[in-house]
């Protein structure tokens, strides 16, 4: 990793730039892909699967029997691990459900808010270079808890044209019955506009590369909701002399191996720690199966030496990372200063991998600096919040005059009259 020592604050902005901030080079490709699927449907998906995934498929829908029998095709230890993750993720997300409480804002005026599940949701699951069955759990479980009526899952095929059975097993325990062979921007288009086989979704969820991220943003312009801008994975690690170099290097590589356009940032107050972590990176890289991918990601990454932890957390808040790991003294206190991050991992024994798989928190998080304004996926992501109000005659007499005065001041006589006509009737009855 390239090392930057004690950069002045006016250099921080440039150091916080992502390698994928400029989408101009892929914009036309993504747009043409979306338009092709929008106009030609299933034949376009089959054509694009052959072009991008180098796989010829005849049927893009996975038979429900294959989904239900997937448990037989995975090792018992993996099945047990997935079941453990399911339990923890379910426990954390079901606790997010809010109870409906009626509030009397003034006598006779009742207001409340109710969560209603989004009817049709589309889940995008990356699966080309790595079958991310964990993402099925992260999206499928809150959709299941919310009670979404229809859940559609799209994932690219493997080299043999199949879907990894672990993805299908995760889908089955989340109650997902509609699984389709489609990846990349074409899958996003299929769920956004529908095809002969794939139903149209009201909201699309899921991480992906910059093509997927741009496709989600593009279809959102056509009225299709998306979870958030979520592109290539990233992590920022803050460490001082108390950090274990091997742990830090492992965490950096765990994100670098996601894809060549991923980015990892190491911020430290210790020059010695940066040297040791770089040595560990070289050592651990040798044994990494996805070494070539991680090496490419590391060319987009950097280690930054800063003078103190206050500067480190200030830089982190500017960068606004998807994942933030705090391997430093007083990590819990430092965590209280975090204002921009998708998910925070506190202490030497809280690897980012825990959040990716089984601790219970959701790993579908905003990237590219969007944690300044967006949250990660939660139960709330799969519901709409609808407000209700019930006003009785007494309540309208109490609140009515205020409404009339405000409506008249805004020159909206129709608004005023909707209240006045009712008040007059109430007064007549009372007489």
Helix or strand run (H / E) with residue 265: strand 263-268
Sheet holding 383-391, edge to edge: 103-106, 109-117, 383-391
Which residues on neighbouring strands pair with residue 3, listed in sequence order? 303
Spot the catalytic one: 234, 257, 322, 352: 322
Between CA 268 and CA 239 the distance in angstroms is 5
Q: Is position 410 annotated as part of the catalytic site?
A: no
Q: Is position 322 annotated as part of the catalytic site?
A: yes
Q: Is the distance from CB of 195 to CB of 45 less than 8 angstroms?
A: yes
Tokens representing 279 are: 């040595």
Neighbours of 385 (CB within 10 A): 10
Select from 233, 219, 225, 268 the least CA-distant residue to 248: 268
Tokens representing 213 are: 């991220």
Helix or strand run (H / E) with residue 153: strand 150-155
- Burial (CB < 10 A; 0-12, 13-18, 19+), residue 298, is buried
Helix or strand run (H / E) with residue 112: strand 109-117
Spot the catalytic one: 323, 336, 410, 413: 323
Q: Is the distance from CB of 237 to CB of 345 less than 8 angstroms?
A: no
Tokens representing 398 are: 């109490």
Catalytic residues: 322-323
């Amino acid at each position: 990793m390239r090392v930057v020592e004690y950069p002045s604050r006016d250099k921080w902005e440039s150091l916080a730039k992502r390698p994928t901030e400029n989408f101009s080079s892929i914009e036309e490709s993504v747009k043409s892909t979306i338009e092709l699927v929008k106009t030609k449907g299933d034949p376009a998906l089959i054509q694009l699967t052959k072009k991008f995934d180098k796989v010829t498929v005849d049927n893009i829908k996975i038979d429900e029997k294959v989904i239900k029998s997937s448990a037989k095709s995975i090792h018992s230890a993996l099945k047990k691990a997935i079941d453990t993750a399911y339990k923890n993720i379910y426990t954390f997300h079901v606790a997010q459900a809010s109870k409906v409480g009626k509030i009397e804002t003034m006598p006779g005026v009742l207001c409340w808010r109710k969560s209603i599940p989004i009817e049709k949701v589309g889940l995008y699951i990356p699966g080309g270079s790595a079958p991310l069955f964990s993402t099925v759990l992260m999206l499928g479980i809150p959709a299941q808890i919310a009670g979404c009526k229809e859940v559609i899952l799209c994932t690219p095929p493997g080299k043999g044209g199949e879907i990894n059975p672990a993805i299908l097993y995760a889908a089955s325990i989340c109650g997902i019955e509609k699984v389709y062979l489609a990846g990349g921007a074409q899958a996003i288009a299929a769920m956004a506009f529908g095809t002969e086989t794939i139903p149209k979704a009201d909201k699309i969820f899921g991480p992906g590369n910059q093509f997927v991220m741009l496709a989600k943003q593009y279809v959102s312009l056509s009225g299709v909701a998306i979870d958030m801008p979520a592109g290539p994975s990233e992590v920022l690690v803050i460490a001082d002399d108390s950090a274990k170099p091997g742990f830090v290097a492992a965490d950096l590589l765990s994100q670098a191996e996601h894809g060549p356009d991923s980015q990892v940032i190491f911020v430290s107050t210790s020059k010695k720690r940066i040297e040791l972590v770089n040595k560990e990176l070289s050592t651990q890289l040798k044994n990494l199966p996805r070494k070539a991918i991680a090496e490419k990601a590391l060319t987009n990454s950097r280690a930054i030496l800063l003078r103190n932890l206050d500067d480190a957390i200030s830089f982190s808040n500017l960068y606004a990372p998807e994942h933030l790991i705090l391997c430093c003294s007083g990590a819990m206190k430092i965590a209280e200063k975090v204002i921009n991050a998708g998910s925070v991992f506190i202490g030497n024994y809280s690897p980012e991998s825990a959040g990716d798989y089984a601790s219970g928190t959701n790993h579908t998080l905003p990237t590219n600096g969007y944690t300044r304004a967006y949250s990660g996926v939660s139960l709330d992501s799969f519901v709409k919040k609808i407000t209700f109000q019930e006003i009785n005659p007494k309540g309208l007499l109490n609140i009515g005059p205020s409404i009339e005065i405000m409506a008249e001041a805004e020159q909206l006589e129709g608004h005023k009259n909707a209240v006045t006509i009712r008040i007059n009737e109430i007064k007549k009855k009372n007489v």
